[in-house]
A and B are shown apart, each in its own frame.
Chain A
Amino acid sequence: MDEEFLEDEDTGLSQDQRAELGLGALVCLVVLVLLAMLAFIFQEAWASFSHNGLHWFGPGGNADQQIQAIFTSGDLKQTPKFLLHAWPMIWSTILTTVGSVVISFVCSLFVAVFLVEFAPGWLKRILEPVVRLLASVPSVIYGLIGVLVLVPFIGNHLVSEKAQASVTPVISLNGYSLLAALVILSVMISPIMIAIFSEGLRSVPRGWLEGSLALGVNRWRTFWNIAVRTARPALIAGTVLATARALGESVMLSMVGGSTAFAPNPADGLIFFVEPSRGLAATILHNTDELNSPPMRHTLFAIAAVLLFSSAALSLAGWAAKQPMKRYFNVGGTAA
């Protein structure tokens, strides 16, 4: 008889039951930490939201000046100010996130299809570790390369003096730009997508593909029509994860995106791409030294709350989008 079956005389529980209870408690603790995080952040953020209402999300005024005013109002003994119209930062986050996700979704899908089905063996053996390596390069290294290579290149070669003169009083075009942010962010998030996409594509039953091939459909069409369609849950899972990464990226964007809260305007033509901006996450990082000013603190937590809410909504949307597809065949659906 194993000692594990002996019952504890005090509690009347077997060791098995105690282990289950212990692990259950641990799991509940993790859930509690997340709930505490949500509660604390939203509680701390409430002051900023309640003062601004829905205008918090709207445009109006210079966001940088508003943030400055919020900060100084906490320093002196005056009434705290909370006025913030955060649209420029929200717009910047939307632009960088959506832009890079669209770019890297297309590229990653092609690369994943290539990697799983069409690449010759030697290239597969190179590509797989390359994807893993690129996924694990820290964002600060991407930022460093961006700020020392890409930003000077854009500033010196892609921005004409005429373009610079046309926007001079408002912003300066010195290479810290939306373009640099988009390029580097796309490189950063596509390995995540490629890894999850190719995992999904690989688990498509071989027989399904062979059925299509036997009907005379060529390999390219077969793979796109059968494998890619079957692996849609994995495509969604990868996109959600990559979008969350892009949404929360602060370090790299604060290094290459410029430090003014300016909303790049598509009506400006090509200059749009070289205009600087600063997203929500980068704003938090940019202003961390000012957390000791109470109104500033509430404002930064409000920004964090918006980010947290968006990432939660994102994973919920991904879950909802996967449901109708899972009925048939679930590949990579559980990939976290």
Chain B
Amino acid sequence: MSSGVLTGSRDPLPTPAGASPPERRGAADSSASWRLTDRIGLGFAWFLGLLFCAITLAIVAFLAVQGIRYLRPELLWTNPQVGFNQNETGGFLDPIIGTFLVAGIAIGIAGPVGVGVAVWLSEYGRPTALARVVESTVEMLAGAPSVVLALFGILLFDSKVLGFLSETTSDGVVFGKSFFAAGAMLSLVALPLVVSTVREGLQAIPNHVREASYAVGKSKTATIRRVLLPAARPSVITGHMLGIGHVIGDTAIIVLLLGDTQTLQGVGNVPLWGILRGTGSTLTSYVFDNAPTGDLNQPNKAYAAAFVLLVIILILNVLVDVFGRRSRELRWS
């Protein structure tokens, strides 16, 4: 951009005769003159790159074929039932609803908290020791296995204090498994993604933007709220999408903390609150249970649900792509 401004009115510098423009690759660049080992290496790189595409294509195509073969429209609006064969066991409406509920709770917690942490890390970061601790905390959360997070959730939500978030029997035993429990733990899965994406977006904003805002008399809070966060909106959205993608794809926390009942089992009479306190399943746990290694073993249903799950993930990917491109188009200088 800056070079364009400088040379915009002038003609480009004349290139010396015989020199090729830098974009075009000369004969010396072709691999024909390389040593054999180098050419073998390049061939190997080509092979692996194409293999990678082939594996992805195979996975998507295989799931699409199997999914379309076994996916009946009525599966999308009927609920899982107990039956003797795969024609009688119903569809997976409740797992789909469960997937969205869990994703909503998790990103509802991880979104604001993650943006807050990212703003603090990028704009305040004092005292420095605390900033280092926070950075390693986020890094450790990113590396913590989700089964371990799930076990922590079991400890946490078994306690009497948090009993109001899950089913409690009449003699005071807390069940500890609910949408709240699963969503809260899944927010820890999404948090590192939101933090790192938003922080990157904030750091990409050059300092003179902040200085310009201070120069017109805005306070730091106002600068963050009115200037920096709007400017970083594409990365905020990308971070949320990435977080949702991971939350939807997680299985271990769902299996351990959502109770693993096939349908939504609400607790109490309050409409939405009761469902959120109750147990249920999501698409991932539905696939897990219906795989040959699971409790139910209905591969056709598993294929159909996996296909639906993959379509949701694909849509999220496209959205990430769109907003990612938008944040790259924003250039400062």
List the one stretch of A57-65, A157-165, A248-256 in contact with chain B: A248-256
On whether the beta carbons of A4 and B152 are closer than 8 Å, the reply is: no
On whether the beta carbons of B151 and A137 are closer than 8 Å, the reply is: no
Known: A138-B309, A187-B55, A244-B143. A250 touches B291 (CB 8 A): no
Instruction: Across the interface, name the chain A residue whose C-beta is closest to B249.
Output: A138
Q: 1/0 contact trace for A107-119 toward B, CB 8 Å?
A: 1001101110011
On whether the beta carbons of A110 and B48 are closer than 8 Å, the reply is: yes
Question: B162 within 8 Å of A by Cβ?
Answer: no
Contacts of A119 in B (CB 8 A): 49
On whether the beta carbons of B31 and A220 are closer than 8 Å, the reply is: yes
Q: 1/0 contact trace for B291-313 toward A, CB 8 Å?
A: 11100000100110010011001
User: CB < 8 Å: which of B62, B155, B317 contacts A136?
Assistant: B317
Number of interface residues of A (CB under 8 A): 86
Contacts of B218 in A (CB 8 A): 2, 4
On whether the beta carbons of A23 and B144 are closer than 8 Å, the reply is: no
On whether the beta carbons of B42 and A220 are closer than 8 Å, the reply is: yes
Main secondary structure of the interface of A (DSSP, over half): helix
* A304 to B285 CA separation, bound complex (whole angstroms): 21
Contacts of A285 in B (CB 8 A): 147, 252, 255-256
Contacts of A240 in B (CB 8 A): 143
On whether the beta carbons of A111 and B219 are closer than 8 Å, the reply is: no
Contacts of B41 in A (CB 8 A): 110, 220, 224
Which residues B64-119 have CB closer than 8 A to chain A? 113, 116-117, 119
Question: A315 within 8 Å of B by Cβ?
Answer: yes
Which residues B9-57 have CB closer than 8 A to chain A? 29, 31, 33-34, 38, 41-42, 44-46, 48-49, 52-53, 55-56
Question: B130 within 8 Å of A by Cβ?
Answer: yes
On whether the beta carbons of A144 and B302 are closer than 8 Å, the reply is: yes
Question: A102 within 8 Å of B by Cβ?
Answer: no
On whether the beta carbons of B320 and A132 are closer than 8 Å, the reply is: yes
Question: A247 within 8 Å of B by Cβ?
Answer: yes
Which residues B243-279 have CB closer than 8 A to chain A? 245-246, 248-252, 255-256
Taking the nearest CB of chain B, how far is it from the CB of A241, in angstroms?
Answer: 7
Contacts of A270 in B (CB 8 A): none
On whether the beta carbons of A140 and B145 are closer than 8 Å, the reply is: no
On whether the beta carbons of B142 and A145 are closer than 8 Å, the reply is: no
Q: List 20 A-B contacts (CB under 8 A).
A: A19-B224, A24-B124, A27-B120, A37-B144, A41-B151, A111-B48, A115-B49, A127-B52, A132-B317, A136-B246, A137-B310, A138-B284, A143-B291, A143-B293, A145-B63, A148-B302, A255-B293, A288-B255, A312-B143, A336-B139
Given contacts A127-B53, A284-B151, A285-B256, 14 further A-B contacts (CB under 8 A): A27-B121, A40-B156, A41-B148, A133-B314, A136-B316, A138-B250, A138-B309, A143-B293, A218-B31, A248-B146, A281-B145, A284-B147, A311-B143, A336-B138
CB-CB nearest 5 A-B residue pairs: A248-B145, A138-B249, A244-B143, A4-B219, A114-B45
